[in-house]
Amino acid sequence: MVPVAASRPDPAARRQRVAVVIPAKDEAARIATTVRAAKAIPNVDLVLVVDDGSTDATQHVARDAGAVVVRHSVNRGKASAMETGAAVVAMRDAEDAAPRLLLFLDGDLGESAVNAAPLIPPVLDGAADMSIALLPRQAGAGGHGIVVGLARRSIASMTGWSPTQPLSGIRCLTREAFDAATPLAHGWGVETGLSIDLVAQGYVAVEVPCDLRHRASGTDLASQMHRAGQYRDVLLAVNARKVRSLARGVRRRLRGSADT
Ligand SMILES: O=c1ccn([C@@H]2O[C@H](COP(=O)(O)OP(=O)(O)O[C@H]3O[C@H](CO)[C@@H](O)[C@H](O)[C@H]3O)[C@@H](O)[C@H]2O)c(=O)[nH]1
Ligand SMILES: O=C(O)[C@H](O)COP(=O)(O)O
């Protein structure tokens, strides 16, 4: 889907606040720069780092850089860190104002994190319920399109929408859309699950080009192991949704035959 041109936001939309949520596992080297860049994004009044059981100094570095930090004492995976982050933001949302939009960033974006700003206007203006960053080609990237292809084909077959970068986790969502997609798919299946669950329910997703840089997986053994984990989690997310959709169909048919 092509992003709709941003129209002039109404005053309520201009006041709408945004919370940045950064799931982070062992990101001490980059998290400070990422946090500072995230704080510079217009409308952002809260930057929350969820330290997902890091064994390095991520939590301390993030706090020193000005983030609110919560921590999983053991590693639970990215999706769980996103759920924790969204729950903490909800506790901090004002009772008499609209809930904050949720802008999920990765901990390794560094200075480029500020370039996630274009994700906000389409959601703020109501043109989309979820905006997803389209990243430029990354130096050193060594993927062969296997996980990406699985995610894209699965989303397309279940929703009719074929995203260009289905694994991109740099996303902005309304609270309503986020809640409609919970519980999230586990681990690396989270982006695929979000896209299937939201678009299948009629929520609007758009992809927006953003000049973001991250630590791309290369061609070494660790990168290939990482891709194997991504493949497993995407497959699990897709299969769970296929089973759920089949079960819904069976229930509908049973209700239909009971009515006749
Ligand atoms: O157990 C974990 C592992 C990672 N992370 C964080 O999750 C983010 C993404 O992890 P990363 O190692 O950068 O993964 P990549 O493979 O480079 O990520 C790509 O693919 C992922 C989906 O597989 C998406 O979530 C990312 O947005 C996308 O950049 C980073 O902030 C990590 O610190 C956690 O919070 N918990
Ligand atoms: O490197 C990547 O882009 C991801 O790990 C996905 O790998 P893939 O390109 O093999 O799908």
* 242: in domain: yes
Report how far residue 112's alpha carbon sits from residue 37's, in angstroms, rounded to the nearest whole number: 7
Tokens 């296929």 -> residue: 242
Residue of 212, 220, 227, 234 with the most ligand 2 atoms within 8 Å of its CB, for mutation: 227
* Ligand 2 atom closest to 150 (CA): 11
The encoded tokens of residue 52 equal 């997902």
Residue of 165, 226, 230, 235 with the most ligand 2 atoms within 8 Å of its CB, for mutation: 230
Whether the predicted pLDDT of 16 surpasses 80: yes
Ligand 1 centroid to residue 160 C-alpha, Å: 26
* 140: in domain: yes
CATH number for position 58? 3.90.550.10
In this prediction the pTM is 0.94
* 5: in domain: no
The pLDDT score that the predictor gives to residue 146 is 97
List pLDDT tens digits, range 66-101: 999 999 999 999 999 999 999 999 999 999 999 999
The pLDDT score that the predictor gives to residue 35 is 98
The pLDDT score that the predictor gives to residue 6 is 44
Ligand 1 centroid to residue 156 C-alpha, Å: 23
Task: Give the number of whichever ligand sits closest to the CA of residue 153.
Answer: 2
The pLDDT score that the predictor gives to residue 2 is 39
In the predicted model, what is the mean pLDDT of residues 42-65?
98
The pLDDT score that the predictor gives to residue 3 is 40
Q: How far is CA 249 from CA 160, 241, 254, in A?
A: 18, 12, 9
To the nearest 10 degrees (0 to 180), the angle between helices 78-92 and 190-200 is 60
The domain of 179 spans 11-259
In the predicted model, what is the mean pLDDT of residues 112-118?
98
* 116: in domain: yes
* Ligand 1 atom closest to 230 (CA): 23
List pLDDT tens digits, range 169-193: 999 999 999 999 999 999 999 999 9
Residue of 154, 168, 217 with the most ligand 2 atoms within 8 Å of its CB, for mutation: 217
Whether the predicted pLDDT of 148 surpasses 50: yes
Whether the predicted pLDDT of 9 surpasses 60: no
Whether the predicted pLDDT of 5 surpasses 60: no
Report how far residue 93's alpha carbon sits from residue 108's, in angstroms, rounded to the nearest whole number: 26
The count of domains in the chain is: 1
* 6: in domain: no
* 3: in domain: no
Task: Give the number of whichever ligand sits closest to the CA of residue 149.
Answer: 2
In the predicted model, what is the mean pLDDT of residues 18-39?
98
List pLDDT tens digits, range 213-254: 999 999 999 999 999 999 999 999 999 999 999 998 898 889
- Residue 4 binned pLDDT confidence (cut-offs 50, 70, 90): very low
- Could you tell me which of 81, 173, 68 has the C-alpha nearest to residue 131? 173
